[in-house]
Structure formats: C-alpha cells, structure tokens
Amino acid sequence: MNKIKLLDRTFEIMICAEQIDAAVAKVAAQLDRDYSSCQKPPIFVGVLCGAFVFLSDVVRKVNFVNEVTFMQVSSYQGTQSTGCVKQKLGIDFDITDRDIILVEDIVETGHSINYMIEYLQSLNPKSVEVCSLFFKPDKYLYNRDIKYVAMEIGNEFIVGYGLDYNQTGRGLKDIYVVTNE
C-alpha cells in the first residue's frame, strides 16, 4: 500500500517499518549504554498520544529495569502547530532524584518539549533527557540538546507509527508523507 487517504488528504510511504525498527534498535542501544548502571530504575515518560507506539517498542528493546508513565500536552491543530502548549496530563508521583527519559514522537519547533522539560525539572529529578523518534532540526527553535534521536527528517508532514492527522493514521506501521494531490 504505497498511497493511503486519511480524511481529506492523500499520503504516500516515506519510511518503511523495517527502517523504523532499525532506528528504534539503535536508540535502545544508546539508552542501554547510558542507563544500564543506574541505581534507581530510570523513568520513561511517554508523551501522549503520538509517542505510545515508539515508547512501547523502545521499552521492549532496552535491557535495563525501568518504569513507564505518561504526560499529555497539546499544541497541534490539523497539520500545524498552534504555538500554544496546553498540559492535559502530568506526573502524579515523586520523581525526585530519578533519571527521566522524556519520549516524544517528533520534535519540531521545540515548544512542547521545552514546556515539558521545564515542568519535569520543577519536580527535582536527577536528570531529564529527550528521546525522540523524529527530529526536524531546521524547525527547532531552542538550544536544548535532543540527546536521543532515532531519525532526522525535513519539514514534511508525516503520519503513522503513532503520529496522526486529526487523530487518524496512528496505527499505520510505516511512515507516510502528505502528497500534493
């Protein structure tokens, strides 16, 4: 299935499932290297809704004991960021002196990730690092390092593997890009 239609847009395959799996394995190996010797299990904080598929695959590929929780923020409407970040779900337990791995589906402008890092840092963790499936360096507006990146991409609008177009397309195993049709 090279092309699909979601709502009013047509998308074509951009990255196949096998390429995604290899990139996730690479990130998991980096995380293993950096977190395998932690005294306390690191906490993966998945950003809902988009990161749930990526997070699921990452935690099954790492070889260290960990905990998983979720946050939810919103800054998108349709295919565009609104620039306004709204928190819908936060952390409801003590993360003081814990290593936090904030897992995101895609980092574009950085508004959402910056907001979440500041929120998490206010809860006194030992560390907060970002692990993102996709990173758009040309759109990124902040100086914070995105330490764990599975893939860098351009400014395309993509869906699949957890990413959506108006809540559709999250369950696609491949990544699709919007076409000009």
Give the residue numbers annotated as catalytic, written as ranges.
108
Is the Cβ–Cβ distance between 156 and 165 less than 8 Å? Answer: no
Is the Cβ–Cβ distance between 105 and 78 less than 8 Å? Answer: no
Q: 67: exposed, middle or buried (C-beta count within 10 Å: 0-12, 13-18, 19+)? A: middle
How many angstroms separate the Cα of 9 from the Cα of each of 50, 124, 149, 154? 19, 43, 28, 19
Residue 56's contacts (CB-CB under 8 Å, 6 or more residues apart) are none
How many angstroms separate the Cα of 6 from the Cα of each of 11, 97, 162? 8, 44, 14
- 49 prior amide bond cis, ω within 30: yes
